Structure 1
């Protein structure tokens, strides 16, 4: 059993949350194609998946968010959901449900934030709608 979430913290101009690393490419750890456009996305493109509460039934699909950390900012496109309500199945690459405060980001986002490669995986950030 894993904890699941139906909501996420409110979004303000500087929502403090946690960024994780994800590959949105075919065969990547993101599983199937992105929920917003049924496409795969290059690791070199700044794209993200948001926890279910923020994804809000696709209401942020293909919109951009501004992510800030490490003294830098990057704008990324929302292409997928980091499912906080379900997991541990083929559709979710057998991963547990996401926490309710996750921005799951491509390698391009990590590079733009200037995070050293050996520190990729998890980082406190702020984000807002762009």
Structure 2
């Protein structure tokens, strides 16, 4: 019933995306452990999940990306994939498929200086670090 996404725009030095928030901790809203290493990660670490097309078959796993927004930038490690082709099941915390987004930990939002009551969706640019 949801739109699925099988590709993402090419990554450049200023790729547009929407930043969303995710918990990568056990019991958090991210579902199961991270796809890149099968582990959970603290919300205090700058970690992200990339949409399926951007993750390129997990080739960006454990690589750093730079996220720019709010007049600031932060470097974060890719630890997970936000599945753009599946969703609405237990493994995906019953969430719909991801469009072209970067799902980020609280540490990323804090580093960008976004007030907590504005966390959720933010237009950003990003690039490989």
**TM-score, structure 1 as length reference:** 0.98
Deviations, residues 11-53 of structure 1 (Å, cap 9, x unaligned): 0000011000000000000000000011100000000000000
Structural mapping, 1:50-129, within 5 Å: 50-99=50-99, 101-129=100-128
Secondary structure in 2 matching 1:42: coil
Once the two structures are TM-superposed, the CA of residue 56 in structure 1 deviates from its matched residue by 1.1
Q: Point out where structure 1 has 5 or more consecutive residues left out of the alignment.
A: none
User: Which of structure 1's runs of 4+ aligned residues deviate more than 6 A?
Assistant: none
TM-score normalised by the chain length of structure 2: 0.99
* Unpaired runs of at least 5, structure 2: none
- What do the CA deviations read for 1:47-92 (whole angstroms, capped 9, x no partner)? 0000000011101000000000000000000000000000000110
Structure 1 SS opposite 2:20: strand
Kindly tell me the number of residue pairs found equivalent between the two proteins: 129
